[in-house]
Structure 1
Amino acid sequence: MHDRHGDTLGGIGSSVAIEQESWKKNEDGTYSGIAWCLPDRGWNRDGTLNFQNRVHKIGLKLTLKLNASAEHPSDKNLELEYLDTILFTGPDGTPTTSLDADVSGSCLSYDGFPELPTATYPGDGFGSDGPVNRRVAVDCESLGLGPDGTFWIGDEYGPYIYQFSQDGKMLRAIRPPDAYIPHRNDKVSFSSASPPIYDKKRVIEPEKPESGRNNNQGFEGLSISHDGKMLYALLQSALAQEGGKKKKTRRQTRLIVYDISDPGRIEYVQEHIVSLPLCKEHDGDKVVAGNSDILHIKGNQLLILARDSDAGGGSEETLSLFRQIDIFDISNATNIKSDHYDKKGGAIANEKGDLLNDIVPAQYFPFININDSSELARFKLHNGGDHDSGLLNEKWESLGLVPVDAENSNNGKDYFLFCLSDNDFITQHGRMNFGKFEYADSSGYELDNQVLVFHLTLPT
């Protein structure tokens, strides 16, 4: 499917936010609403391209199939309808880009903004020759809807947090503390070592940052409280200096909290540690299950989507060993906000990922096993096995929550939880650059976007 700009709709499941005011139960018993869905950067498998960041508006229609079973499974009961797309631009109205940020050098700067990650590229950024251009580089990974209709985006290149207007113009940028900012050779380096498709031999030295967020491990999770006052952002895994360079040691990740209640002022108020779960790989080794999204429930409680990688639709290995939607609570977690931990190279764990003794992480509670075979079979889905339409995609990266019936259903504790997969632009019939650039993913696969919907009861 292509958006109204002629480009492939892409991985709409990088993050999702459902308009609460649009969600309703219809007279025929179906449910409907509108979701805002975020594709991340283009062409993840073979390199980056000058894909203009954007958000898609998608209509949802859910028909419940309460009697579905493995013996009598339901057909697809969720309909998606493409409605609209908003393209993102920088503070000056120039389109943003998904190209990997420059390794070093000067960044673009604007009045009232911190220095922004910048990509410098020749021609059109899709491989053609031409004059050199520079754009703000954004790797969109997480999404929150502000009460005023603006968009908040969690980014991996910075890692930064951006606010965009209803028409897609960047309004502000939050630069987190220096401990988060990637450094190579003792200099700020926003590159994620993801060269463009037209220059795949470009070498980044060293490949991984010495401190700050590790490559592609930025703000994978972002959520705004129901009253619109607080913004939560969680890194995908630990910072480089806290064990983040290795899958086995990158467990202690940081949650940062901002007060955004005053439109004219953003206040950094809290910072906590979330100890991510461990999972087994197929060779038996234990690794960290990275954060793929978070969603504020109430008070100090948030949902988190944690999973393994490189297993599922679009991958050689189709059987995932760990995909869960869990809950963490920061009520009793240490607030590590301080000059000591937030300075460049500041660390709350050693390079082996061992948390310092005086720091208490968030409480973590297992909740939903996405890979539950008996539940998947009710809807003709499966984890592992053949590459067919029922195989779960590899990347599940977004969470959206809406009430079943906020006024009458179990005192407002019953919800539908939407979980979307990101198909990573894995298609053999792709288009970018407003339909002018054609591509086929080197994997040879053609992946549809997938959505799972759970009916759950949350504690009051």
Structure 2
Amino acid sequence: MKKFLLPLFALTVLACNDDDNVNNQDINYSKLPQEFPFSTLTTLNGINVINGGFGSGATAHPTQKGEFYAITDRGPNVAYSNGIKILVPNFTPTIMHFKINADGNIEVIKYIKLKNPSGQPITGLPNPVGMGSTGEIAYAADGSVLGTDNYGLDSESIVAAADGTFWVSDEYGPHIVHYSADGIELERISPYGVNTGTRKLPAVFAKRRPNRGMEGMCMTPDGKMLVGTMQSTMYVPTKALATNTTLTRIVTFDLVSGQTKQYLYKQDGGASDSVCDITPISNTEFLVIERDGKFGSEGGLKKVYRINLSGASDVSGSDFTAVDGMKINNKTLEQSTWDEINAAGLKPVTKTLAVDLVSKIGYEHDKFEGIVYLGNNKLAVFNDDDFGVADDGNGNPKTKILPKTGKQDKGTMYIVDIQ
């Protein structure tokens, strides 16, 4: 595999504390801004689609300091009709392994394409009905209808385990998928229990909002538990009745027993805003992204909160298979007001602001989607550049432009201090 050397794009370094963390010692994070090595993936109607997209999720290497993994989503796409246009239908969601070398430059080590259990590359096409679909229809760039993929993934977050394998969560399903070091699917955990393995997520998670699945996931430092964040309020019991648009859920998955717990998270924004990636500080304390869809220079919301599961109520209820989950006075949690939830004695996770990226560093991107805690109160930040394209409003791609600089949006990594 050919290696690429380049300085770190848009890296901001602030003051350092005295905490110890192997991912933050003796690493030179001070290089001047430089773009990641993205060539053109394809050209559609004169629009260059770059082979970017890395930044939907990110994680540190579990043992090698200064090494990271970043993952793409399902591939370049734009909204169209009652679904989406998949601009490159054979695109395979991919992991990029890279490091910050002794000179402070980013060195891409390798790319890992995700594969089905037979070792064949998967696509980002939706799953069939009953296997993770909530009605998404995929179209080609010319508007023709595409098929589905039993093992398709709209990957959004990644965890690198100590044994060299990966855990990936997505916006279909939602699924939590275990991949080998070479990207071959080993187990798929979802509300459906399909394909590989029998372990499941609670049935209520099948009512996730389309394109708003498990946007974030991490592993606790003890290696015992996965912690996933749903992007937005789920449609429980239905879209029309899920009126508490600031309520979303966190789910934990015990890797040994397969047992799950659920916690409530109260967003500051509303239905159009997102809870994205999550990264651990301890086994109970985490950092979580909240963002909207605006660019930073246009007044966008790009914040990170410290949250703590200690003291929060497990809202799993007594029936793992209940499609509407726990209820209060015969109403689902998504139907209930926060006053009703509080009156029932249910406590959401606690949260405090860790950093506002717009006010702190003038963060420009719209899709702030990946974070990795480095220790020393330092946070690595990644953006999803959407492969350099945006929706022109008519179901066609246009170049995704950063309004402040006038340049095409490309994958960027920052280092920032947090409170």
TM-score if structure 2 supplies the norm length? 0.71
Structure 2 contact 217–228 (Cα < 8 Å) conserved: yes
Q: Does 1:267 align with 2:258?
A: yes
Please say which of residues 82-91 and 161-170 is displaced more in the overlay: 82-91
What residue number does 2:197 align with? none
Structure 2 contact 40–50 (Cα < 8 Å) conserved: no
Unaligned runs of at least 5 residues, structure 2: 1-36, 43-48, 80-84, 191-200, 391-395, 402-407
What residue number does 2:211 align with? 216
1:338–1:352 Cα change, 3 Å: closer
What residue number does 2:204 align with? 179
Identity %: 21
What residue number does 2:20 align with? none
Structure 1 contact 116–136 (Cα < 8 Å) conserved: no
1:353–1:395 Cα change, 3 Å: farther
Q: Does 1:96 align with 2:122?
A: yes
Q: Does 1:12 align with 2:37?
A: no
Q: Does 1:85 align with 2:111?
A: yes
Q: Residue 12 of structure 1 aligns to a residue in which SS?
A: coil
Deviation at 1:150, TM superposition (A): 0.6
Deviation at 1:60, TM superposition (A): 2.3
Encode CA deviations 1:201-235: one digit per residue, 9 max, x unaligned.
xxxxxxxxxxx100111111100011211111110
Superposition pairs for residues 443-454 of structure 1, below 5 Å?
Answer: 443=399, 445=401, 446-454=408-416
Superposition pairs for residues 175-324 of structure 1, below 5 Å?
Answer: 175=190, 176-181=201-206, 212-241=207-236, 249-260=244-255, 262=256, 266-278=257-269, 289-309=273-293, 311-312=294-295, 318-324=297-303
Encode CA deviations 1:371-390: one digit per residue, 9 max, x unaligned.
11xx42xxxxx45xxxxxxx
Q: Does 1:351 align with 2:391?
A: no
Q: Which of 398, 403, 414 is the matching residue for 1:442?
A: 398
Tell me, in whole angstroms, the C-alpha distance in 1 between the residues paired with 2:118 and 2:365.
38
Structure 2 contact 371–382 (Cα < 8 Å) conserved: yes
Tell me, in whole angstroms, the C-alpha distance in 2 between the residues paired with 1:90 and 1:447.
31
1:415–1:325 Cα change, 3 Å: same
Q: Residue 153 of structure 2 aligns to a residue in which SS?
A: coil
Structure 2 contact 233–271 (Cα < 8 Å) conserved: no
Q: Which of 345, 352, 355 is the matching residue for 1:368?
A: 355
Structure 1 contact 324–366 (Cα < 8 Å) conserved: yes
What residue number does 1:139 align with? 154
Q: Residue 354 of structure 2 aligns to a residue in which SS?
A: strand
Q: Residue 333 of structure 2 aligns to a residue in which SS?
A: coil
Structure 1 contact 97–119 (Cα < 8 Å) conserved: no
Deviation at 1:370, TM superposition (A): 0.7
Q: Does 1:57 align with 2:97?
A: yes
Q: Does 1:41 align with 2:74?
A: yes
Encode CA deviations 1:409-452: one digit per residue, 9 max, x unaligned.
xxxxx243101111011259xxxxxxxxxxx9324632121222
1:240–1:128 Cα change, 3 Å: closer
1:219–1:62 Cα change, 3 Å: farther
AA in 2 matched with 1:371: V
Deviation at 1:97, TM superposition (A): 1.3
Structure 1 contact 214–245 (Cα < 8 Å) conserved: no
Deviation at 1:323, TM superposition (A): 1.3
Tell me, in whole angstroms, the C-alpha distance in 2 between the residues paired with 1:328 and 1:131.
41
Encode CA deviations 1:348-384: one digit per residue, 9 max, x unaligned.
4243654533221111111211111xx42xxxxx45x
Structure 2 contact 134–210 (Cα < 8 Å) conserved: no
Deviation at 1:132, TM superposition (A): 7.0
Structure 2 contact 62–162 (Cα < 8 Å) conserved: no
What residue number does 2:26 align with? none
Encode CA deviations 1:172-205: one digit per residue, 9 max, x unaligned.
0111211111xxxxxxxxxxxxxxxxxxxxxxxx
Structure 2 contact 38–51 (Cα < 8 Å) conserved: yes
Encode CA deviations 1:103-149: one digit per residue, 9 max, x unaligned.
x3xx6xxxxxxx56699999x97769999774422100011111211
Tell me, in whole angstroms, the C-alpha distance in 1 between the residues paired with 2:251 and 2:105.
35
Unaligned runs of at least 5 residues, structure 1: 24-32, 64-77, 108-114, 182-211, 279-285, 377-381, 384-391, 404-413, 429-439
Tell me, in whole angstroms, the C-alpha distance in 1 between the residues paired with 2:145 and 2:295.
40
1:342–1:324 Cα change, 3 Å: farther
Q: Which of 317, 327, 333 is the matching residue for 1:338?
A: 317
What residue number does 1:209 align with? none
Q: Residue 299 of structure 2 aligns to a residue in which SS?
A: coil
Encode CA deviations 1:267-325: one digit per residue, 9 max, x unaligned.
123211111223xxxxxxx666421111111131111011111x117xxxx41342111
Q: Does 1:22 align with 2:13?
A: no
